[in-house]
Structure 1
Amino acid sequence: MKQVILDYKTGKLEVSEVPVPKIKPGNILVKTVCSVISAGTESHKVHLARKTLIGKAWNRPDQVKKVIRTFHDRGSIETLSLVKERLATPQPLGYSCSGIVLAIAQDVNDFKIGDSVACAAPHAEIVCVPRNLCVKIPYNNLPTKNNRKQINFDEAAFVTIGAIAIQSVREANVQLGEKIAVIGLGLLGQLIVQLLKASGCEVIGSDLDERRLTLASELGADITVHPNLLEKFSQQFSHGNGVDAVIITADTKSNQPLELAGKISRQKGKVIVVGRVGMKVPREIFYLKELELKVSRSYGPGRYDKEYEEKGVDYPFAYVRWTENRNMEAFLSLLTSGRLKIDRLITHRFQIHEAQKAYDLILKRSEPFLAVLLDYDFESNTKNVNGGTKLIWHEGSVRIARSNSNQIILGLIGCGNFARGVLIPKIKKLPGVKIKAVSTQSGLNARNISQKLHCDYCTTDFREILEDPDIQAVVVATRHDTHASITVQALKAEKHVFVEKPLAINIKELDLIKKTWQEVSRNSGVCLMVGFNRRFSPHAKKLYDHFYQRLAPFIMQYRINAGPLPEGHWLLDPQQGGGRIIGEICHFIDFFQFLTGLEPKVVCAQQPNDINEANRDNYLITLKFNDGSIGVISYISSGDPAMPKELVEVFSGGRSAAIYDFKKTELYANGRKKTFKTRSQDKGHKDEIAIFFNNIRDGGELPVNFDSYYHTTITSFK
């Protein structure tokens, strides 16, 4: 399918062929009929992408701080590789469209195949949309004056932009008869003017463009003036009191719109900022008038809340009357009632394959424009069956080429930040390994990564990789809740499996893997490795050798200054990530098992009494082993990020050792100290990956037996 994508490294725009997205739980698959380019938001993204690296850094100082911390931890080479990889990740463009439902996840029960819908989704022929970001296009049978039977796809495609306009009006909390000013009469401004008139307000609009002033007047604005005259006319318009509210939809770095809003507002008035404008608040005027300043956040309540948007958890109707989904519904209802006129706003339209021309028009401003639409080749993918609409589509792969090779043929399943930044660069450097295919849930990501790696094909259905007879091994780097299922299916397909930790997130999954491994390992020579990499670090090997002939139990301390995760992070979700004990602390349990060669027999975990949510992931875990060894894991989320992340200290039989962030190891014996250093942080990923492929090539005993993986994982459940 075709999708509009932006290369964030170069700023290049293109329409590319990508695999159809795989439908996810709580989602709907939609065949797009029409989408609307949001000129302000999307052109800003393109302009930012076309800036130099320094220009991008200037716009995102928060990301610069992360890069500096990574440089400190991992060194210049790995940091540069991570930055390049992140910048080279293509970005989808667009967020407002309409179309026909193709497929529905099992847990979505209020849509059906063939429904006409409007949704918040990018410019692509087929989109996968969360339930709460999709609404049905209403069909009206009520005999109300001006009501229409059904609005068309062109109008419905404005749904997300319309919801943004509605939310700004709600933030202004306008009352019947109030006098409202709208600064900036682009697409959003024109919609807001009509919404305000529908709410019974009197409206004065302002813009630099004479054509937009004329259009706003025709769509209902009571007065439209140039910004230079706005202060004078606002006084006349409001009988000298000032306007009740100002909604700013202008797009400029200048602070002038905000300053002007302060001047024309009444005492205790409201200023709502929607557009991207200068935000240096002129304190004097805002203080003297005691003005209320609000920044309207996108479509409405629910925006940026992963529980709402990704998991479909709705807010109670009685307490949150207008969510982003209900704002979208309200916009379509206003269209059906005839109170909004969209056709006057459409100035240009292009076919999806002509999207580059559409963006050239917007970026170069070669001619006046307002709403620019993209049309999709709907008819070629549909046909009428018994008066209805049957949609012909195929979920799956985009094939690039075929090759014959005597190398180990590999398939990648899941390619998130860790896989792209850590695993793939290590695999690429290994001789005799050919990455044939890539599978991700996003067709855009699959296409981008497969092109970079010169793969034969990419897909959104990992089963295609498992069914490929040429592929001998797979790397599973998906989110944690899918590790067990994919690993079981891959083992049954007799593929060698490298799966990132954790192996499973509950006992049921773990026991299923154990049963499958016992069946498969008896009949085939497949290899299974789990991504517990620290045991393969040269620092770990030095430490292990230092205590090789120990006779006394270990006293082990592993301190991790992990830092907090942002609220809503998928790892914290028990169903998806398993939480930080299962998802991360399993690493350190495995490290203690590596040193002792034993499984933990006693486990005790404690948390401090702290009601602060930011400190919820502080753990002190004590493990006791059969030989009397004791290991203590101090996992800290509330520390300062400037402190090194990991410190390992080990004591036994008069010997001591310490690993400092896997950069330096100090070994103490007989009153002397030996120091081992690596050029940069080395947590063992390189050697771990090499051992996996060497085992496939040469056979022999597995580097880590399954029982060790089992006991590490089951200990994390306790």
Structure 2
Amino acid sequence: MKRKLDEETAVGYSSAGTVIEVGAAVRDVRVGDRVACAGGGHANHAEIVSVPANLIAKVPEGVSLEAAALTTIAAIPLHGIRLSDVTVGDSVAVIGCGLVGQIACRLLCASGARVFALDIDPKRVEQARSSADDAWVSSRGIAAAVRTASGGAGVDHVLLTAAAPSNEPLLLATEMARDRASIVLVGVVPIEIPRAAMYDKELSFQVSRSYGPGRYDLEYEERGLDYPIGYVRWTEQRNMQCVLDLQASGRLGFDDLVEVVPVERAAEAYERLVDAASERPRGALVLSYEDAPEDTTGDLALRQIQLDTPDKRTAARQIAAPVRVGLIGPGGFAARVLVPALVARGARLAAVAGGSGPSAEAAARTLGFDRVAESEAALIADDSVDAVVVATRHASHAALVRQALEAGKHVFCEKPLALTLEELDSVLRSAAESTGILAVGFNRRFAPLLRELRDFVVSPPSPVASTYRISAGRLAADHWTHDLEQGGGRLIGECCHFIDSLVFVTGSEIEEVHATGYGDSQLPVQARDNVAVTLGFANGSVGSILYVADGSGRVAKERLEAFSGSRSAILDDYRSLELFGADGKESRGRRGQEKGHRFEVDAFLRGVEQGEAPVPLDEVANVSLATLAAVESLRTGQAIRLTTAPADQR
């Protein structure tokens, strides 16, 4: 929690700019197009942003980027207006004339409605007069004036765009509304609704959610799955495009609402928004990046942000390290486990990339990296980086590993290596041709107790029968690991660990895989997390893995039992080991759990120094292929035979 609080957070959710790069699956957008962008974590206040396809809209000719930067903000009141079901000639009261309220008045005017604006600030009221039929400063008795102005019966709709600590704006809305009118809350007001007023007039009340259908839906926003127009006419993207088209037609204008501020004065701009003594803007403060290059596609990979020199203690410990490491993905696991192990081994933390700019910079300062690379590509292209550690979400592993290997970097990739057979094949081809080594984060094979178990049961060498039970616990159904595109499911994302452990214990490659299981009916079959996997090995060994999400949290997570040549061994959660042989029983224990992470990092760095991977590439290939085979077996219900070729023959 403390680490989260210490992190800087990217701000902003509404921007506009020129496209410099387009994803392979994105249609109808080209480099050089001008687009408006939406979404927190995407359309941030930054010179360069990465935005999903459904959160952009093309800016038509004649609309400035400064005005287009308000598109997402304008889509908020537009969605509220659509929920109100306003038709031509309807009377609408807008309570709250801040930026959203000002835009609401203009949208309603463009729609042919009669608009009445109210606010407690006389300056805002005066500004609203340019688009409203009439405007008033809120005061006692103002509801009667609005009813009179609207024809006596009251307004057809009320749009609440105010931000208030009390429900007074809501009370005012019920007073000025006609019988069976609608009230839509777009702003932030306590929802304490007076029943008598609502009942007597049979009023309808609704809360508007952001800027339209699709908001907060990962399938729509992150994965680009659009809603059919015949079922959802106005999605958030279509609302954004509507705002831009209205501007292009001349029926809507924001130029007088925009005050452009150079990014160098951003701190001053933010201060104006929160300091009551400062002159408040008439509308929006739009940050501009005037010095941004017209074409950044050619040199993007060469640019980076240089940080201040770390403190002497950290710098002194890093200077002696021979391996300069770049980290892609400074998330919790990397910060908590991998980076301390790298530092303890003497690696130099050269560069970090991934996540949002502020989070990467905060990670660099907290963890002791020399600098923040502007992008993953920039870090991979950096000549001052010897080895790249990939610790991002699963979906990006294969592409990043392949790029780093092709750049001649040594690569450590957190598991899994790939989510598909095609990804795995491309990575292995790159690894076979690269001058860098490839290591995958199968840390358990480096755990001292597992190594002792292996040495005991296979001495002398003979086939091993083993069973590995994992009580993993449940993840929420919408957790990203369950998503087949982002996480691949828990079988790929975590069970690969245990497949590798049994390959290590048996000392043999896997020839056959069969998996069966059950799981949450909301999840695809391949994402089931109550699974039994049976493995057949080339040397005659057999192994079974029982991966369970439905177990009790009181049970130790992992238990491995192995049997061979009148010898048995039981490893309990990497805390204790029992060895049973002809001479009796021996027990081993540790003060704490040791799953091998620091030994794994040491082996990788030693491998970089010596030019030899800690685990042969063919073994990495076999484990990864067996993991994918388990998923296919789970899907089809059939046993899968593995066929692999040596890496140099791929």
TM-score, with structure 1 as normaliser: 0.74
Distance 1:607 1:239 in 2: 68
Tell me whether 1:100 sits opposite 2:6 in the alignment: no
- 1:28-60, CA deviations, whole angstroms, 9 ceiling, x for partnerless residues? xxxxxxxxxxxxxxxxxxxxxxxxxxxxxxxxx
* Counterpart mapping for 1:224-243 below 5 A: 224-226=136-138, 228-233=140-145, 235-236=147-148, 243=155
Tell me whether 1:181 sits opposite 2:181 in the alignment: no
CA contact (8 A) 1:413 1:478 kept: no
Tell me whether 1:585 sits opposite 2:495 in the alignment: yes
Distance 2:530 2:413 in 1: 26
1:418 to 1:175, Cα distance in 2 relative to 1, 3 A: same
- 1:162-191, CA deviations, whole angstroms, 9 ceiling, x for partnerless residues? 111211111112233333332211110111
CA contact (8 A) 2:66 2:286 kept: no
* Counterpart mapping for 1:156-555 below 5 A: 156-226=68-138, 228-233=140-145, 235-236=147-148, 243-262=155-174, 264-266=176-178, 268-280=180-192, 286=198, 291-346=203-258, 348-366=259-277, 367-378=279-290, 381-382=293-294, 394-396=299-301, 397-398=303-304, 400=306, 405=319, 407-418=321-332, 420-427=334-341, 429-440=343-354, 442-462=356-376, 464-518=378-432, 527-538=437-448, 540-541=450-451, 544=454, 553-555=464-466
2:545 alignment partner AA: V
Residue of 530, 537, 559 corresponding to 1:619: 530
1:425 alignment partner AA: V
CA offset at residue 353 of structure 1?
0.5
1:489 to 1:132, Cα distance in 2 relative to 1, 3 A: closer
**Any idea what SS the aligned residue of 2:36 has?**
strand
2:53 alignment partner AA: R
1:610 to 1:187, Cα distance in 2 relative to 1, 3 A: closer
**Any idea what SS the aligned residue of 2:35 has?**
strand
CA offset at residue 620 of structure 1?
1.7
Distance 2:293 2:432 in 1: 46
Query: 1:560: which partner in 2?
Result: 471
Return 5+ residue gaps in structure 1 as ranges.
1-82, 140-149, 383-389
- 1:360-408, CA deviations, whole angstroms, 9 ceiling, x for partnerless residues? 11111223334232353537745xxxxxxx7897313225389995522
- 1:135-157, CA deviations, whole angstroms, 9 ceiling, x for partnerless residues? 23323xxxxxxxxxx23333222
- 1:396-433, CA deviations, whole angstroms, 9 ceiling, x for partnerless residues? 32253899955223232421424543344324531421
CA contact (8 A) 1:99 1:153 kept: yes
TM-score, with structure 2 as normaliser: 0.81
Give the number of aligned pairs: 607
Query: 2:640: which partner in 1?
Result: none
Tell me whether 1:128 sits opposite 2:50 in the alignment: yes
CA offset at residue 593 of structure 1?
2.5
Distance 2:210 2:228 in 1: 20
CA contact (8 A) 1:436 1:456 kept: yes
- After superposing the two structures, state which structure 1 stretch, 288-297 or 162-171, moved more: 288-297
Tell me whether 1:603 sits opposite 2:513 in the alignment: yes
Identity of aligned residues (%): 33
- After superposing the two structures, state which structure 1 stretch, 283-292 or 702-711, moved more: 283-292
* Counterpart mapping for 1:136-155 below 5 A: 136-139=58-61, 150-155=62-67
Tell me whether 1:659 sits opposite 2:572 in the alignment: yes
Distance 1:624 1:107 in 2: 37
1:379 to 1:322, Cα distance in 2 relative to 1, 3 A: same
CA offset at residue 460 of structure 1?
3.8
CA contact (8 A) 2:114 2:132 kept: no
For CA contacts below 8 A with separation 6 or more, give which structure has more relative contact order: 1
CA offset at residue 239 of structure 1?
6.5
CA contact (8 A) 2:335 2:367 kept: no
Distance 1:493 1:137 in 2: 37
Query: 2:544: which partner in 1?
Result: 631
CA contact (8 A) 1:414 1:478 kept: yes
Distance 1:231 1:676 in 2: 78
CA offset at residue 568 of structure 1?
7.6
Distance 1:393 1:469 in 2: 17
CA contact (8 A) 1:411 1:436 kept: yes
1:171 to 1:659, Cα distance in 2 relative to 1, 3 A: farther
1:394 alignment partner AA: D
- 1:467-504, CA deviations, whole angstroms, 9 ceiling, x for partnerless residues? 55553322122343443344345445543321111122
CA contact (8 A) 2:166 2:190 kept: yes
CA offset at residue 532 of structure 1?
1.1
CA offset at residue 442 of structure 1?
4.9
Return 5+ residue gaps in structure 2 as ranges.
310-314, 630-650
CA contact (8 A) 1:248 1:271 kept: yes
1:433 alignment partner AA: A
CA contact (8 A) 1:273 1:294 kept: yes
Distance 1:565 1:593 in 2: 30
1:127 alignment partner AA: V
CA offset at residue 713 of structure 1?
0.8
1:610 to 1:529, Cα distance in 2 relative to 1, 3 A: closer
Distance 1:177 1:639 in 2: 62
Distance 1:480 1:135 in 2: 29
Distance 2:214 2:595 in 1: 39
**Any idea what SS the aligned residue of 2:49 has?**
strand
